[in-house]
Chains A and B, each alone.
Chain A
Amino acid sequence: MKPIKNIEEITKYIIKEAQIESPSEDFLNKVMNSVKLESKLSLSKVYQPLISKSAWLLIIMVFFAFSIFMLAGNSENSYLLSKLNVSFFNKITSIKVFENISSINIFKNIHFSSTFTYSFVFFSILVMLQLLVIKNYFNKQNNI
């Protein structure tokens, strides 16, 4: 029996003699073309949100202003306003036109049955769930 060291040496010799294989000449070019295409794709994949941050801020501000206005309009002696004591709003609400507007309740004559309300809420939840699932699906696809 030869010592194991010998079989190590011969294996090393054999594997070195097997040499290394070389890919085609334009291998580097092909890889780099794919890589560049990939980096372009990944750049274009950076999605811009549909509504920018400043637009969201504006929407929130308008929403709050509107809700405060509605609150103030609905009852001049509302708890919130008496606490805030916003003279500006008091002035607005004291103007007759605004008083008239605020007294118009456009939803007064619209009544929804409870079945409709429940089904509407239920379907809204389903739509939200679908949105989440679809968003996840596309996110996963883009990551591959």
Chain B
Amino acid sequence: MNTEPDEYYIEQTLNGNVNAFAFLVEKYKHMVYTLTIRIVKNKEEAEEVSQDSFVKAFKNLDKFKGESKFSTWIYKIAYYASLDVLKKNKRFVNSENIDDFNEGDLENMQDALEYLHENERKKVINDALLRLNEDERIILTLYYFEELPVKEISKVVNLSEDNIKTKLFRSRKKLTTILKHVIEPRTIDLR
């Protein structure tokens, strides 16, 4: 549908063609919504925050200098808007302190996950993700799903690249450990 680069639509929007902005919304709505829902954990709120993020981006489009990608910029707006919602509702949840990192039987994990029905697999993984810190969830999503380079992620969450790498390392272990604890009893039940 839209083969032009983001810059084309940005320029069109700035020149008064408001409808050009729709292409950008269409392109990034899924990722923006995914990021917000992984922070605010509520469909209605996530939808509202995502909408507000796009409107805010539109209002400030003339201030977007193009130093980073448009995607990085919109993700950053969505990330901070979501954190604001958490702050307002004082809903920061301390993530679990998982110390018993054990990478022993990773190979069984994939098998166990594959054994689950697609919807259940998605739910199990999302539940596990929600037990991580807000920033860990976002960093993992941006790095492994969106495949953004560490440099761009550091711009979104405003942390140093080294810090991102450390968080990636820790959250990988945390996530697999949580999943292992969740899956093991299930697979035993299935047998």
Contact = CB atoms under 8 A, between A and B. Distances in A.
Interface stretch (B91-99, B149-157, B168-176): B168-176
Contact of B144 (A16, A22, A31): A16
A14 B33 contact: no
Contacts, number: 106
Q: Is the interface of B mostly helix, strand, loop or mixed?
A: helix
A32 B103 contact: no
B18 interface: yes
B129 A31 contact: no
A99 to B, nearest CB: 61
Contacts of A20: 30-31, 34, 145
Interface residues of A, number: 31
A38 B122 CA distance: 37
Bin the interface of chain B by size. Answer: 35 or more
Contacts of B54: 31, 35
B125 interface: yes
A32 B150 CA distance: 32
A8 B147 CA distance: 13
Interface in B22-42: 22, 25-26, 29-31, 33-34, 37-38
B163 to A, nearest CB: 18
A10 B110 contact: yes
A35 B103 CA distance: 48
B110 A13 contact: yes
A28 B31 CA distance: 14
Contacts of A1: 103
B37 A28 contact: no
Given A18-B129, A36-B18, A11 B34 contact: no
Given A28-B22, A35-B21, A38-B55, A21 B125 contact: no
Interface in A12-28: 12-24, 27-28
A14 B179 contact: yes
B47 A17 contact: no
Contacts of B179: 14
